[in-house]
Structure 1
Amino acid sequence: MALAIGVVLIPPDALRDFSISLNELAWKNGKGIRHLNMQENLPHISLALGSIDEKDLSAVQDLIGQAARSTGSILVSVDKFKYQREKKESSLCIQNSPELQRLHEFLVTGLKPLFIRPVQEMFLEPVSEHALSVVERYADDYAFENYWPHITLQCCEAEAERFPEKQRCKELAVFHLGSGCTCKKKLLSIALS
């Protein structure tokens, strides 16, 4: 069996709760796309996306363990909203830092040899051709100098007067992906100290 996976940073509580509250407000205003929640659509900061053979999950676990030992917790802050008109979707832009960029590059470099071509059956639910393409092309089109750390809010429009203060992400996780490259099922997790 093969899996479409996302290796992600779990945001600190304040940023996670802020993201969920913006999503809930968008739903109240008729602008929601997918519900963010703590069960099966967790707000997250993607570090790498791809599809792997399930037998390679232990290699992924080893890699995130190495990353956790060499990185430690990552300080993150939101610097702005971004609205993508073509996708009709808002995101919280996370200010990139040398530590975050290094972690991203370490993970993509280590995972890329394991990646295989994604197909629908690798996801936990049906996905669009765009989502398939993102997972397939992530290492080539969205990584390294093209890396854009963000939290997708799963809504059309979002606004707030203030963003949460800088805080540390203390968990690195691997999720089985669902529709829209959402984090549906946690497969692995490791604390960042």
Structure 2
Amino acid sequence: MHELPDTVAVDVVLLPPGPIMDLAIGANRTLLAGNPGGGIRLDNEGCLPHISVAMFPAKREDLPAITANVDRVARRCSPMALTIDAVAKHRVNTGETVSVFHILRPEIIQLFHKTIMNAVKPYQAPPAGPEMFAGEASAASVDCLLRFPKTSAYERYSPHITLGFGDLPELIPGIDFPIRFEATKAAVCRLGNHCTCRRILAEFDLGAGVLAGHGRTVRR
């Protein structure tokens, strides 16, 4: 098991199903072809496509309580019917363009986000710098983590799957929008550089009822 620092950069996420993971990884490869140094290389193991729900620094000793709270919320939430309606782009503080799959925000995901944010709020720890992250992390990554509650939460919450750095065409061969899918899994992840999901700490099935223990802890 990987050793965790005293303070960990945490992301509670929804994990897309396999076909959506593959679409995101394929779009990421298109971006990397035009920008080989893009910094985000998605895959199915160490840099997972995901939909962030709540991002925050947490004390290592609070992770079991955080996992239990996320488990409790996930068990009470039905699988979510979601829709990717477009490629969206925005500029980050470094001036670079980031492309994402924009996801419509139905009431169920907004409620899940709000409930998770409220459940983990007591465990949000003071920041501890780049060492919170898995591997090296830029100052921009730390800033993104710390700004999440103010810039990306509650009424500002905008679900999406980050695809990488670069200007992805809005029309992609082989991809027809809208893309509808069902999200059935949530996870607590450790963040890496650019707020990528580098490691699953615990994983849950939405609406699965009481699981053995509090979620399935995953050692990777």
The interval holding the TM-score normalised by the smaller chain is over 0.9
* Deviates further, 80-89 or 109-118: 80-89
Q: 1:83 aligns with which of 78, 86, 89?
A: 89
| Separation in structure 1 between the aligned mates of residue 147 and residue 98 of structure 2, nearest angstrom | 20
1:172-187 pair list within 5 angstroms: 172-187=186-201
Say if 1:15 and 1:164, in contact at 8 Å, map to a contact too: no
Count matched residues. 193
For each residue in 1:35-93, what CA deviation from the matched residue of structure 2 results, as whole angstroms up to 9, or x when unmatched?
A: 10011110000000001111111111111111112112111110111111333110110
C-alpha displacement of 1:33: 3.5
Alignment of 1:94 with 2:100, yes or no, is no
Query: How far apart, in 1, do the equivalents of 2:149 and 2:123 lie?
Result: 11
Letter of the structure 2 residue corresponding to residue 135 of structure 1: L
Larger Cα-atom Rg = 2
Query: Runs of 4 or more off by more than 4 Å in structure 1?
Result: none
CA distance, structure 2, for counterparts of residue 111 and residue 133 of structure 1? 19
Contact in 2 for aligned 1:19/1:153 (Cα 8 Å)? yes
RMSD, aligned α-carbons: 1.5
Shift of 1:141: 2.3
- Of residues 81-90 and 1-10 in structure 1, the stretch that sits farther from structure 2 once superposed is 81-90
Residues 1:5 and 2:15 are matched in the alignment: no
Is 2:58 the partner of 1:52? yes
Aligned mate of 1:157, from 164, 167, 171: 167
Cα deviations by residue, 1:109-149 (Å, 9 ceiling, x for unpaired) = 11111111222111112222222122122222210001010
Which of the two has greater helix per residue? 1
Question: What 5-or-longer segments of structure 1 have no aligned partner?
Answer: none
Residue 146 (structure 1) aligns with: 156
Q: Distance between the aligned counterparts of 2:56 and 2:168, measured in 1?
A: 28
Alignment check: 8 A CA contact 1:117 1:136 kept = no
Q: Name the aligned partner's letter for residue 53 of structure 1.
A: K
Maintained 8 Å contact 2:130/2:139: no
More deviation in 116-125 or 24-33?
24-33
Distance 1:181 1:54 in 2: 18
Q: Determine which of 19, 24, 33 is the counterpart of 2:39.
A: 33
Contact kept, 8 Å, 2:85 with 2:179, in 1: the verdict is no
Name 2:145's counterpart in structure 1: 135
TM-score, L = length of structure 1: 0.94
Give the 3 Å change call, closer, same or farther, for CA 113–180 of structure 1 in structure 2: same
